[in-house]
Amino acid sequence: MSDYVRAAFEHRASSRIPRGELWVGSQVFAGLRTADDVDAHLRLCSDLGMDLISLPVGGNESSDFGYRLFPPTDLRRAVGSGLFVAAVLSGPYQRIVDRRGLHNALADVARDAAEAAGAVAREATETVRLVEACAGNGADAVVIAEDVAYDAGSFFTASVLDQVIYPSQRVLAEKIHDCSAIAIFHSCGRITSMIPDIVSLGFDGLSCQPECLDLAAVKRAHGDRLTLLTGPSRDLLDSDPLSAVQREQFRQLVSDLGEGGGFILSSSSGVYSPQMLSGLRALYSLADTA
């Protein structure tokens, strides 16, 4: 099944749209009455017909966002499953946000961008180490999750992005490629103006929110160089059943994004409740008819 994902990253059309979720919350597994471990993730992927298994990596504990963080060595348990294996890492700035809170982290940048850039660079050293560990344990791709925007636009000016955020992202994309893995960038929010930079930094894929972007326009402008991991919005995942309008709009979106490859059906929000699984099943079924 990983062949479908690889075709997407090679911008080749395949017989069906590949799919997989970057984040599956621990409450999903609690609702299924099973432990949140690699075997449970593999069973869920098999049950839903996913082509990609993704494990957030950090340590053997829960994150503040409702999903488990796995040690890099757990990735090896997914290797050989037939699935494309992705590891998700918090980016250098996200690590600071996780520790200090968004308000304080933004204030740090506003107060002294040069000092903030140094702090991000120091965090990048640890992120590089995790990239190496993930690739060494068999990850086919590494996702750098760096939330640098909200629904109205980036948190930062272009000059601050150039000084504080982008240098470490370029280093990470290069390191991921040096490790023979695929580099994927994730950010929530309206990041339209940043997408040319994300391409030039060397990322192969982009995980982004359908609520905040004109995805068809992004596909037209950058689809020959950037594979999009997107599609199901939070509203669609929460809708049971989908309305006729929602069904048709989603089917058209999948058709537009899937043309010529370069598209993996994957929500940016993640799946955090057992109830969302029925919505995900419905969307996967619709995608097969697009």
* Per-residue pLDDT at 59: 63
Residues 6+ apart with CB under 8 A from 190: 149, 150, 151, 152, 153, 154, 212, 213
* Per-residue pLDDT at 269: 86
Q: How far is CA 30 from the centre of its chain?
A: 23
- Cis check: omega of the bond before 232, within 30 degrees of 0: no
Report the predicted TM-score, pTM, of the whole model to 2 decimal places: 0.96
Beta strands of the chain (E only): which ranges? 52-56, 61-62, 68-69, 84-90, 141-145, 149-150, 153-154, 182-186, 205-207, 227-230, 263-265
* Per-residue pLDDT at 195: 97
Tens of each residue's pLDDT in the chain, 290 residues: 589 999 999 999 899 999 999 999 999 999 999 999 999 999 999 999 999 999 999 865 556 678 999 999 999 999 999 999 999 999 999 999 999 999 999 999 999 999 999 999 999 999 999 999 999 999 999 999 999 999 989 999 999 999 999 999 999 999 999 999 999 999 999 999 999 999 999 999 999 999 999 999 999 999 999 999 999 999 999 988 899 999 999 999 999 999 999 999 999 889 999 999 999 999 999 999 88
* Per-residue pLDDT at 62: 57
* Per-residue pLDDT at 115: 97
Closest CA to 134 of 184, 64, 65, 67: 184
Residues in a beta bridge with 53: 85
Closest CA to 129 of 92, 101, 97, 183: 92
Residues 6+ apart with CB under 8 A from 271: 21, 23, 24, 25, 28, 237, 277, 280
Beta strands 61-62 and 149-150, pairing class? unpaired
Q: In what order do the strands lie in the sheet with 182-186?
A: 52-56, 84-90, 141-145, 182-186, 205-207, 227-230, 263-265
* Per-residue pLDDT at 250: 95
Q: Which two tokens stand for residue 161?
A: 């992005």
d(CA 6, CA 86): 12
* Per-residue pLDDT at 61: 55
Is 2-287 CATH 3.40.50.1820? no
* Per-residue pLDDT at 249: 94
- Residue in this structure with the two tokens 């929602």, named with its chain if needed: 246
Burial of 80 (0-12, 13-18, 19+ CB in 10 A): exposed
